[in-house]
Each structure stands twice: as structure tokens, then as C-alpha cells.
């Protein structure tokens, strides 16, 4: 019952009306034009459902409610896999969000699995953007912090900063997150000069 309640609060209350046209029986079309139009309509509905589920999950993570984020992110993953395929780049941000939410609930083993999935897709995609690789390294860095492996975390966060700089430029807001997390690590290590320098950069 508690799982159903969490699931309802997280996502099903938001997407209930969207599910029926997507999961229910599809109408029978008599012409090729109608069939094409029906497929396009179904795709738009699925993409809309994915967008709602993903933004809902992200909202819960930002609000510090990782447990509520997981059912919404899993719905986004389910429909993204159906629409784009299980090895698609569109799944990487969802896996990273699931990893962050799982880490937030203390489920580090599950978070590691999601990060492995994201990493595998990125490695299988030679033309993967620096922006997405940056997000992957940030996710790996935050996971390493949760594990207590600060040197590994600094390695991934440095890659995050490098890739974000390559994609968005040296003084972009996108770079500041990596600097911020690195500064927090140096602060924990009592390396105040390095920490203050990075906080100033942020």
C-alpha cells in the first residue's frame, strides 16, 4: 500500500489521463494516411508523457524528495525505451536522474547499475555530445562522493568541468556545478585555499 501511495503521489496522479490513449487499444485505421496520422499522434502523446514524468521526477529531486522521484523517473524510462529504443541517448539523462535519486535514498548498488547503463550507452555512441558526457561525469562524481571516494570524485568532476567548458565556454553557468562540488570536497579535506578559489569561481 505504501508503494502504491508513493507511486500515486509521485507520478500516476499527473499522468493518469495520458496513460489510457497510450496504453489502451489503438483505433483501426482504413487508409495509409489515417494510419500515419494515428502513429504520429501516438508518438506525440508518448513524448508528452515522457516530458511530464521526467520534469516531475526532476522536481522531486530538486525538492530533496528522492524517494518520490523514482516512480516518475521509472515511467519516463519505460516510455523512452519504448519510443527511442533501449540503447538510445535519450535514456542517459533518465538513468542519471535515477542514479541521483537512488543515491539520495541510500540505494548505492541500484545507483551504480543506473550509472553503468548510462555509461555503456555513452561509450557505444561515438558522436555523444560533450554536454551529455559532462552530465555523466558529474553523476559519477556525485556517486563517488556518496561512496566516500573523494579522489575518484575529483577525477570525475574535473572531467565534468573540462567537458562543460568545451561545450558551453569557460564562463558558462553549466561549468559552475562541477566547480561547486569540487570546492565542497576540498572544504571537507580542509584544503581551504583550493576550496575558496573554486567557490569564488562559482
pLDDT one digit per residue (tens) for the chain, 202 residues: 555 554 545 455 555 555 555 555 555 656 677 667 556 766 787 788 888 889 989 999 999 999 989 988 998 999 899 889 989 999 999 999 999 999 999 999 999 999 999 999 999 998 999 999 999 999 999 999 999 999 999 999 999 999 999 999 988 999 999 999 999 999 999 999 999 999 999 9
Give the residue carrying C-alpha cell 503521489: 9
| pLDDT the model gives residue 53 | 86
pLDDT score, position 52 = 86
Q: Which pLDDT score is estimated for 13? A: 56
- Predicted confidence at residue 37, as pLDDT, reads 57
Q: So what's the pLDDT on residue 16?
A: 53
Residues 6+ apart with CB under 8 A from 41: none
pTM of the model: 0.81
Amino acid at each position: 500500500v505504501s508503494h502504491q501511495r508513493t507511486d500515486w503521489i509521485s507520478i500516476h496522479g499527473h499522468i493518469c489521463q495520458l496513460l489510457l490513449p497510450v496504453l489502451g487499444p489503438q483505433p483501426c485505421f482504413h487508409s495509409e494516411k489515417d494510419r500515419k496520422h494515428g502513429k504520429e499522434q501516438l508518438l506525440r502523446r508518448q513524448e508528452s508523457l515522457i516530458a511530464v514524468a521526467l520534469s516531475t521526477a526532476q522536481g522531486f529531486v530538486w525538492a530533496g524528495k528522492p524517494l518520490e522521484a523514482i516512480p516518475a523517473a521509472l515511467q519516463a524510462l519505460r516510455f523512452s525505451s519504448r519510443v527511442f529504443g533501449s540503447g538510445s541517448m535519450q535514456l542517459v539523462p533518465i538513468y542519471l536522474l535515477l542514479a541521483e535519486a537512488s543515491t539520495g535514498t541510500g540505494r548505492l548498488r541500484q545507483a551504480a547499475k543506473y550509472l553503468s547503463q548510462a555509461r555503456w550507452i555513452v561509450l557505444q555512441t561515438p558522436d555523444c555530445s560533450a554536454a551529455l558526457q559532462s552530465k555523466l561525469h558529474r553523476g559519477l562524481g556525485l556517486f563517488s562522493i556518496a561512496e566516500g571516494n573523494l579522489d575518484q570524485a575529483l577525477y570525475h568532476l574535473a572531467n565534468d568541468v573540462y567537458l562543460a567548458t568545451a561545450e558551453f565556454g569557460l564562463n558558462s553557468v553549466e561549468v559552475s556545478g562541477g566547480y561547486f562540488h569540487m570546492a565542497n570536497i576540498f572544504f571537507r579535506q580542509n584544503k581551504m585555499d583550493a576550496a575558496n578559489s573554486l567557490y569564488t569561481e562559482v
